[in-house]
Amino acid sequence: MGGPNLEVFKFAVYLFVPIVSLVYFGDPAWYHKHVVPYRNKLLPPLEKTVREIPFEQQRIREELERIKLERLERREAKEREGSS
């Protein structure tokens, strides 16, 4: 139907679209401009993440208590901010 010219065009599109997208999106400047700010919005900073998971029951309870206190403090701060 289309002939050999159409097949060459389709082959070129199939070949160059992935290559061009890899070159464009694989650029470190693009990554730092678009991905890093979004990642910082979604994920907590590394300083706030727990690196070592506690396995002892007492340490697990202490960690849960710490998390509950942080949530309570944040909730109270929001309420104070909202009532002002």
Q: How does pLDDT run along the chain (84 residues), one tens digit per residue?
A: 678 999 999 999 999 999 999 999 999 999 999 999 998 899 888 788 877 888 899 999 998 999 999 999 999 999 998 876
pLDDT at 1: 67
* Cα torsion 59, 64, 67, 72: sign: negative
Residue 8 and residue 38 in one domain: yes
Residue 17 and residue 57 in one domain: no
pLDDT at 47: 82
Residue 39 and residue 62 in one domain: no
Residue 56 and residue 83 in one domain: yes
pLDDT at 49: 81
Residue 3 and residue 37 in one domain: yes
Residue 39 and residue 55 in one domain: no
Residue 38 and residue 20 in one domain: yes
- In angstroms, the CA 70 to CA 64 distance is 10
Q: For residue 3, what are the domain limits? A: 1-49
What's the pTM value of the predicted model, to 2 decimals?
0.44
Separation of CA 60 from chain center? 27
